[in-house]
Amino acid sequence: MDGGRRSAVGGLPSPVNGLRSTVCGQRSVVSSLSSVVSRQRSTVYGLRSTVCGQRSAVSSLSSAVSRLRSTVTVNRL
């Protein structure tokens, strides 16, 4: 009986090692996914800064157009 128990207990480490390697593989997948997410976030931040730059350019253009319109109105008077 003791021999049967020892073989049963001795058979446990291989599934445990397989589970450990699976967990380590899952961790590496999670870390690679988190790096992809961080790269996507930096891309999103870059896009936001580009959009903000475009908005400031549009606002400066609109202020220039309004100044030109006021100049044209003054010249007509």
Model pLDDT for residues 23-60, shown as the tens digit of each residue: 777 888 888 888 888 888 888 888 888 888 888 888 88
Nearest CA among 36, 17, 35, 13 for reference residue 25: 17
Number of domains into which the chain is organized: 1
Can you give the pTM of this predicted structure? 0.37
- Count CB neighbours of 31 within 10 A: 10
**pLDDT for the residue 12:** 55
Range ranked top by mean pLDDT from 8-12, 13-17, 48-52, 72-76: 48-52
Tokens of 40: 């996507």
Where in the sequence is the domain holding 41, given as residue range(s)? 2-76
